[in-house]
Structure 1
């Protein structure tokens, strides 16, 4: 009788501990990533990497990660299930999708956009035709220029924020095509620039065009609009074997992940967007 009682107690304790462990691993928030992955080998490469890396981080840091290339899902009903939205490579183009996203953000949703998600240039295939998004929300306005070829840059923290927690003052980022913008974000009181390109990075880029090599200037890389729970990250363009792209090699020469500091930045960002408050 005593053995049966003891065995029952052991089983109860084991079951209790298992339930506690399961409860401690309960998913704390849900992330949905939108992507297109149809143009530019580097953007496609980044999307494929992201959709491998983020699920791995979701398991480790206890959140759910879903992804979709169906931008029709960018509607109020679908978004209601998620606390964080990612734009991995592009932006929504339809009026209803844009309205749903703006409403989601104005109600306190979280968002992180990468690289080309902020691109908008008049008289191009992707015109700056969404004033709220480019000028009010991102603050950057039109695309200005870029470096070429994709190269690493030394980044400097310009503001303390949960996103930059435990990062060194400067660190070397993964190779990327770096963007500049029409608007000077330093003049926008709503924008908090978290990281910029450090002057020790110059000259940045290899050309061959001289305007693709930056020799000086201030270039924000990661920033936050204080009126929203959002973050823009300029990274998201791998270096590719462009010389043989028509041979269908599509070979990536670099990765946007695997850098401990850049990875930490993205993890900090997700946890802040999913669980934190507007800063």
Structure 2
């Protein structure tokens, strides 16, 4: 793809595609690709909402808004992944920052910025959401597709994490308001981690990646054979309605996550 931005630190290489939702298209360590490849994969940004919003409808005070229903009957994963982002500041060998303006079909003007800081053994990602006018509820997070198998003859990835609860899903695929003890996978589920997201992905004898965030919410998705997803986010699915976090002129939304890695074996 044209206009890719490549960062390198040590033997880590990260490729951003600002015109394709500012997604991380590739993350290689020692030449080994860690992310599922393809225009819809890599690691994309969820903003200004994460996961499904029920029937594409959310309320801000007494005003009801309808979002495009792109995962019938719901709206899913925000508008940022469908948008071309522009450079927010000049990139260096290890850092980059991009942004885009919130506009239709999102009903409130604002600005979203992603900053990427690559180091030899980690990458830190930061998302900020600012309003350009009225306050509005918003969410932000990341949806990385980690390869289930690194393709070098090794074993499939193993996930390790400790959650205080799992959001029980209703028939509509949304949290129903009940918090339950975490259940065994496969998952397409939201977990609560009040002390911060901390999930380890281990490809035995090959690589270990740790996904951390000060946020307490993560969706974990393991229902496809090609990849698994560990999604740190600022609130649960349908959170625009159930746990709204207002972005105000004096209180923008900011979330960060760090992905660190080490080779093993």
TM-score in same-fold range (> 0.5): no
Larger radius of gyration: 1
With the length of structure 1 as denominator, give the TM-score of the two structures: 0.27
Higher helix share: 1
Report the TM-score when normalising by structure 2.
Answer: 0.28
The structure with more strand, counted as a fraction of residues: 2
